[in-house]
Amino acid sequence: MINEYFTPFIWAWIGLALVTFLVLLKIAAPYGRHTKEGWGPMISNRLGWIIMELPSLLTFSLFFLLGPNDKSSPMWLFFGLYVGHYINRSLIFPFRIKTQGKKMPFSVAASAIFFNLINGFINGYYLGTYGPVYTEDYWFSANMIVGLSLFVVGAGINVYSDQQLLNLRKPGETGYKIPQGGLFNYVSSPNLFGEMIEWIGFAVMVGALPAWAFAIWTIANLLPRAMEHHKFYLKRFPDYPKERKAVIPGLL
């Protein structure tokens, strides 16, 4: 039953991502520096991050591990990369951010839970049940080599840039400062740029529609957010470097 509707569902999911992208170009998601009143009950920023990101980790793992497909070493790599990212996002990063007293609307966390449940399901189910078993010679395929390279580069940019942001605030500080160094010299949100590269790399590596759907959703969410971050910096800091782009060096 699921198999019959699996591919049409993913195409519909991609269509929803494109609609979401257009909405987010007009309305900034109200969390973090863009938090606003009027979006319903508020919850702790740290709790919000945990409950937003944890569903993807759990859902992907469940459907991958319990699926009947044999698990080859390339597939275990896919599993490890996906799970590693979300362990960091749901169980490590929330306890490292300096968000004393900050809150986010529960409605934002709820929408992210829905997003992560679907993306965790379609990718875990594809690798665990629906898709083919990736044979050992897949290690030497162009998809694996190019995709893994992109994933590693993107993840490195994402983690390093996040650390730069965390280092901006001393203990007890909550304000915003102009980030400097690394890719921050060229764009306002290299962390988001890195995450987009990361999941494009995953999609290339897996070479399947569910992984591309996840990459498209990542771009649909993060590209507008990076543009809003850029506007925030330009408005807040009169001396903000005018040559910086929002998210893609030299382009956007």
CA 71 – CA 54 distance, rounded (Å) = 23
Query: Which range (29-38, 40-49, 100-109, 183-192) has the least confidence?
Result: 29-38
pLDDT tier, 74 (very low <50, low <70, confident <90, very high otherwise): very high
**Residue 245, in any domain of the structure:** no
Evaluate if residue 33 carries a pLDDT over 80.
no
pLDDT at 43: 87
**Residue 249, in any domain of the structure:** no
**Residue 250, in any domain of the structure:** no
Q: Which residue has the higher pLDDT, 176 or 85?
A: 85
pTM: 0.93
Q: What average pLDDT does this structure show over 55-83?
A: 97
pLDDT at 29: 76
pLDDT tier, 28 (very low <50, low <70, confident <90, very high otherwise): confident
Q: How many CB atoms lie within 10 A of CB 155?
A: 21
CA 69-72-76 angle, to 5 degrees, is 100
Domain count, the chain: 1
Which tokens hold the place of 82?
Answer: 């996906």
**Residue 244, in any domain of the structure:** no
**Residue 241, in any domain of the structure:** no
**Residue 69, in any domain of the structure:** yes
pLDDT in tens, 183-223: 999 999 999 999 999 999 999 999 999 999 999 999 999 99
**Residue 45, in any domain of the structure:** yes
Q: Which residue has the higher pLDDT, 73 or 94?
A: 73
Domain enclosing residue 197, as ranges: 2-236
pLDDT at 45: 85
**Residue 7, in any domain of the structure:** yes
Q: What are the helix (H) ranges across the chain? A: 2-26, 45-66, 73-87, 106-125, 142-168, 190-206, 209-236
